[in-house]
Amino acid sequence: MSSTEVSPVRPGRNENPFSWRFTAPLFLGSALNPVNSSLIATALLPIARDVGIPIGQTAALVAALYLASAIGQPAAGKAAEVFGPRRVFVSGIVLVIAGGLLGGFSQNLWMLVLSRVVLGLGTSCAYPTAMLLIQRRAREAGMDKPPGGVLGGLMIAGIATASLGLPLGGVLVNALTWRAVFFVNVPVAVLALVAAAGWIAPDPRREHRLTAREIASKLDLCGIVLFVGAMLSLLVFLFGLPSARWWLLALSAALWAVLAWWELRARTPFVDVRLLAAKPGLANTYLRFGLTQLCVYVVLYGITEWVESVRGFSESAAGLLLLPMTLVSGLLIAPLSRRGLVRGPVLAAAAACLLGSAGVLLLTATAWIGLVVALTLVFGLAIGFSTAGNQIALAEHAPAEQLGTASGLLRTFGYVGSIGASAVTGLVFQHDVTDGGVHLIAWIMTAASLVLVALTLGDRTLRR
């Protein structure tokens, strides 16, 4: 902390620095993004009917939140490092309220898409700022690092809750209307806002205001713009499959090259290329997490479509089949995080992905439905092991002053994996959902899992 800053209010000597009052708004805010990513699934058909559009156009609502989140997560982390995590956290919660109201009152597709973008940007502010707030709290309490249990709780809220959106969305749509999947954000966000205002200490105050030039330099605005362009063109290319627009992929590659060139010269780089080169363990952490999310989201998208189309289950029933994934991952993350383990959990995650991917080959129209539940349990293990191990690895490899951006980039790699999963299922099921398509998906997942196993075994930093 610089000498020009005033310390925030600190917890009392006998007070637990990580009491439920401090963690509740952080966990609540961090859960909004993953839940919203899947909450919309059961509302797409009712939206298409009510707004009067083809069902295919509602895919824009899924893409909008993913695109906004993949870009917004690291950008919010960088902004939190410059302006203060509490300010960015509160600003994000206000955006969530605005996005929920806009979506709930929308009358056409474009208003709904705008609502999903606002929700994506707003919910993206929670996780990276929470990481910085937890780190600051630990430092003020005289701890070397935050307690693993707190990090585990944050990861449960920020990632493992994704599959809760499917059954929750089904209940909301059936009991109320599709507008409820937007309006439900408002009371939750208001609760998080009130809790944050009352229980999270203000950010340090600066004695002088930053000039526009200083802000641009500290944020690395040019780096952010290049990152947005490179990521946006890549994600639009993936979402456009099976119609391959190769010029978008070429544009993305060119922008990534320009971004790397710029960041090597930036004073406070948005994406620290030198850091990634000097710390291969950090780069491997991002890749491991992205590959795991690819396999998991193929299950969330592809297997769910197969269960509904081939096995004839309703949307809400298909969502309930995925609940074991959430429960198992949540039960694993907390104890693993408290122990601070990395190598064992990431190896177990890779093995679980490989086992589960091979198990998908057994799915047929006549297979016992309990096999689907068993496979979701296996991938729940993959989520739990991967989330806990890679989270601890991130905290170990990322410099403290760049933890916000580094945390956001971890989530970005997760979103690239999930978008890749959407592209895979779109390619395979572009004409029809069949057993053969599911088996092709299984082979693709197996190939990705083998890469994950090789990457994990070859990471020398894990041996330390």
Over the stretch 23-62, which tens digit does the pLDDT of each residue have?
Answer: 889 998 888 888 888 788 778 778 888 888 876 677 788 8
Is there a contact between 32 and 121 (Cβ–Cβ < 8 Å)? Answer: no
Per-residue pLDDT reduced to its tens digit, 398-451: 887 778 888 888 888 888 888 788 778 777 877 777 888 888 888 999 999 999
Element (H, E) at 6: strand 5-6
Phi–psi pair at 242, nearest 5 degrees: -85, 0
**Is a pLDDT exceeding 60 seen at residue 7?**
no
**Model confidence over 286-299: pLDDT tens digits?**
999 999 988 888 88
d(CA 119, CA 385): 28
CATH of domain 271-464: 1.20.1250.20
pLDDT per residue as tens digits for the range 313-360: 776 676 677 777 777 877 777 777 777 778 888 999 999 999 999 998
Average pLDDT, the chain: 82
DSSP H helical segments within 141-220, as ranges? 148-155, 165-175, 180-183, 185-199, 212-219
> What Cα–Cα distance (Å) separates residue 130 from each residue in 154, 351, 437?
8, 30, 40
Domain spans of the chain, in order of start: 17-199, 221-266, 271-464
Distances (CA, A) of 306 to 166, 219, 350, 441: 15, 44, 24, 11
Average pLDDT over residues 272-294: 86
| pLDDT at res. 291 | 92
Residue 296: which of 380, 235, 362, 364 has the closest Cα? 380
Q: With CA atoms as reference, report the closest residue to 389 among 419, 418, 347, 357.
A: 347
Q: Is the preceding peptide bond at 11 cis, omega within 30 degrees of 0?
A: no
Q: Largest Cα–Cα distance of the chain, in whole Å?
A: 70
Instruction: Give CA–CA dist 306/311, Å, rounded.
Output: 7
- The band of 99, judged by pLDDT with boundaries at 50, 70 and 90, is very high
CATH numeric code, 17-199: 1.20.1250.20
| Strands 205-206 and 5-6, sheet pairing | antiparallel
Domains 17-199 and 271-464 share a fold: yes
CA atoms within 13 A on the CB side of 191: 15
* pTM: predicted TM-score of the whole model, two decimal places: 0.79
Handedness of CA 307, 308, 311, 313 (dihedral sign): positive
Closest residue by Cα to residue 39 from 206, 167, 141: 167
Residue 5 belongs to what H/E stretch? strand 5-6
Assess whether pLDDT exceeds 70 at residue 310.
Answer: yes
Identify the top-confidence range among 52-56, 89-93, 362-366, 394-398. 89-93
Higher pLDDT, 217 or 2: 217
Q: Is the dihedral of CA 292, 295, 298, 303 positive or negative?
A: negative
State mean pLDDT over 271-288.
85
Helix (H) or strand (E) holding 206: strand 205-206
| Spatial contact of 58 and 48, defined as CB atoms under 8 Å apart | yes
